[in-house]
Structures are given as structure tokens and as C-alpha cells.
Amino acid sequence: MRLLQEPSITKCKMKDSVGYIHSFNSLGAVDGPGIRFIVFMQGCPYRCPYCHNPDTREFSGGIPYSPLQVADKAVRYRTYFGEKGGVTVSGGEPLCQGEFVAELFKLLRSRGINTCLDTAGIKPDKAVERVLEHTDTVLCDIKFPTEEMYLKRVGGSLKNTLEFLRLCNKMGVNVIIRHVVVPGMTDTEESILAIKDLLSDIEYEKIELLPFRKLCTQKYKALGIEFPLKDTPECSKDTIKKLKALL
């Protein structure tokens, strides 16, 4: 169940000891291994055309929490985690609040709780390294197969994401690659094989192909934002099955 937070009254300034959080999900089943308690961070520098959380984009929002407050909240659901479950930090882009995530993951690890980072990856720095020191699994979204497409459609850098993944390998963090398959955009065999080729020197557990869906349409309407892919059909199961065979 998604537990939405009330919007912040004043604009938030990012601080190392405070995390600005959009919402929590107490029992997530598709955001990492097992059953997860999910923390959705506020703020994202990217503008993915298929974004399902446009309400987490702006940095001037969210509710401030300390790492200890979030750890104490998450531990209440520990009985549901099972052997593989734990806590996933997602967003927004959680690495934009790296110092907070690092402290949160350190606390969770000290309590024996599995940690998972759901990210698009950013250019590594000391804060990113600190996060990965306390991360069990990284879910990394590879959005497009070329630098040009990243810049045009996302406003980010594929090079930075690949550099981040290499750091994950260097630090021994388990990696799961995710890729959204959008009809007419990323649903060709050439596109999938290009992404596989990008990862030729990177170790990862698996590549998950996620079918494009339009469940987020109402969010865009509520925010008064036009959904860029409103006229794009959803991705079929047959397409996913065919492309999975290439991997």
C-alpha cells in the first residue's frame, strides 16, 4: 500500500542529515528481492518520457526525515520481509540525496536488514561510494542505448550510468539491470541487443525488461502536466517474450 505524505509547506533545502521523502510503500513486491519496504525520495534531475512518478520530480518538496526515523519506520515491517526481502530506496533519484541514503543503509545493515538501491545511476562521487558501501543490490535503469538518445529524451548521460555500474562491480555490489520497453521507441531487437552490448564489460545478475504501461496517466492530469506518451500503446506480453529470448 502506497502511503502518501502531505506536501511540504516550505521549500526544502537538501541537508546531509535530512532526507526529503515523497512517500513510503509498506509491502512492495516488484522493487527488489522478496517483499520490500520502499522509500520514495523526492527530487529527480531526469525527465524520462515514461516516468511513472512525475510527482517526485521537483526538489522543492517532500517531508524531512532523519535516517533513524526512516529506519525505525521500516523495521516495523520486518516480519513481512522473509529471507530475501528488506528495504528499497527509490525515487525520484535517490543518489541526489546520497549522504542520507548512505546513513540510512548503514543503520539498516547494522540491524541485519537487506538494502536495495533503485536508481538510474549518476556520475560517481564520494557520496555514491558511501551508499554502495552499505548496499546489497542495485536496480539500475538503462533507459536508452545511445548517449544521444539519453540527452534528447532524458536529459542525462549514459556514460555516467555506465561509470556508476563499473563502480558497483568494483565494490562488489550485486547488480540487476532494468529497461522499459516502449513501442515505437525501444521495442526493436536492435535496441535490446545494443543495450546488451553496452554491458559486455559489466557484471550483472540479469536484465529485466519492463513493459511500458500508462497507469500513471491520472498523476499527470492531477499535476497539470502533459504525459509525453499518452498516445503510445502499451507494450504487449508477446513483445516482451520475444525480446527476452535475445537475452
Q: What is the mean pLDDT of residues 189-218?
A: 95
Q: What is the 3-state secondary structure (H, E, C) of 37-79?
A: EEEEECCCCCCCCCCCCHHHCCCCCCEEECHHHHHHHHHCCHH
> Who contacts 60 (Cβ-Cβ below 8 Å, separation ≥6)?
8, 11, 12
Range of lowest pLDDT (10-19, 72-81, 204-213): 10-19
Rg (CA), the chain: 17
Does pLDDT of 13 surpass 50? no
- Residue 140 or 84, more confident: 140
> Who contacts 214 (Cβ-Cβ below 8 Å, separation ≥6)?
227, 229, 230, 232, 234
The CA-CA-CA angle for residues 23, 26, 31, to 5°, reads 85
Burial class, 148, CB count within 10 angstroms (exposed 0-12 / middle 13-18 / buried 19+): exposed
pLDDT digits (tens, 9 = 90+) for 155-198: 889 999 999 999 999 999 999 999 999 999 999 999 999 999 99
Structural domain including 160 reads: 2-244
Kind plus residue range of the DSSP H or E element containing 20: strand 19-28
pLDDT band of residue 82 (cuts 50, 70, 90) is confident
Burial class, 236, CB count within 10 angstroms (exposed 0-12 / middle 13-18 / buried 19+): middle
What pLDDT sits at residue 43? 95
User: What is the CATH number for 149?
Assistant: 3.20.20.70
Using CA of residue 218, residue 220, residue 226, residue 231, what is the dihedral sign?
negative
Q: How far apart are CA 9 and CA 24, in angstroms?
A: 19
What pLDDT sits at residue 17? 77
Ramachandran area for residue 209 (φ above 0: left; ψ -120 to 50: alpha; else beta): beta
Residue 228, CA atoms < 13 Å, CB-side half-sphere:
12
Count of domains observed in the chain = 1
| Average predicted confidence (pLDDT) for the chain | 91
Is residue 26 within 8 Å of residue 205, measured between CB atoms? Answer: no
Q: What is the DSSP string of 86-139?
A: EEEEESS-GGGGHHHHHHHHHHHHHTT-EEEEEE------HHHHHHHHT-SEEE
What pLDDT sits at residue 16? 52
pLDDT digits (tens, 9 = 90+) for 108-159: 999 999 999 999 999 999 999 999 999 999 999 999 999 999 999 998 899 9
Q: How far apart are CA 213 and CA 54, in angstroms?
A: 14
Does pLDDT of 8 surpass 50? no
Does pLDDT of 77 surpass 60? yes
